[in-house]
Amino acid sequence: MPASDQVGPIVEVEIIPVTELRRLGQLRTLAEMHARPRAVPKPNTRLERAIDRKAARLLDATKLRKWASAVKDRDQWRDRKSGVKVRSPRDLDPLRAEAHHLEPKSNKLLRYDIRKGITLSFEHHFDVEHYRYRIEGTAWFVAENGCRYIDGTYPVIFVRL
C-alpha cells in the first residue's frame, strides 16, 4: 500500500443502505417547504375566455355522449317503459334510443352518474318530458350530499298523469 502522502489523504467511506437512500430522496429541501403553490392565472383576453368556455362545453358534450352510451348499453338498447328494442340515435323515428336523466342535468353532482339514467324511445321520452308520465323508483341510492335519488339500474314505474 502506498504512503498517504503519495496518493492523497485516505478517506473512510460509509456505505448507506438502500432504504436510507430512498428516505433521503423523499426529504424536501428548505426551498420546497417554504414554496407556496401558485394559482393558475385566469385568462386575460376575451378570446382566451371564449376558448376556455368552448373547451369546457366540448368536454361536457363528450362526457354526456359517453354517459348516454353507457346507459343504453346497460339497458341493452331496450325501452324501459315498453321493453321494445330501440334503434341507433341516428335514425329519425319513434323507436330512436334516447337516454333520460331521472334527475335534472343541472345537478352537477350526478350529471354523469349512470345510475340516474334510463333508456327510452323517442316517443316515451317525449311523453315524460311533456309531463304525460311521471317516473317513480323502486330502489334508491344516497349520493355524496346525503340526498336520496332514484336508482335507474332497478325497475322503475311509469305513472300516467
Task: Examine residue 127 and state whether it is found in any structural domain, yes or no.
Answer: yes
The Cα diameter of the chain in Å comes to 104
Task: Examine residue 26 and state whether it is found in any structural domain, yes or no.
Answer: no
How confident is the model over 135-156, as a mean pLDDT?
A: 92
Task: Examine residue 11 and state whether it is found in any structural domain, yes or no.
Answer: no
Domain around 150: 46-160
The answer to which of 23-27, 85-89, 134-138, 146-150 has the lowest mean pLDDT is: 23-27
* Alpha-carbon gap, residue 44 to 51, rounded angstroms: 11
Surface-to-core class of residue 75, CB atoms within 10 Å of its CB (0-12 exposed, 13-18 middle, 19+ buried):
buried
Contact present, 135 and 124 (Cβ < 8 Å): no
Instruction: Answer yes or no: pTM beyond 0.85.
Output: no
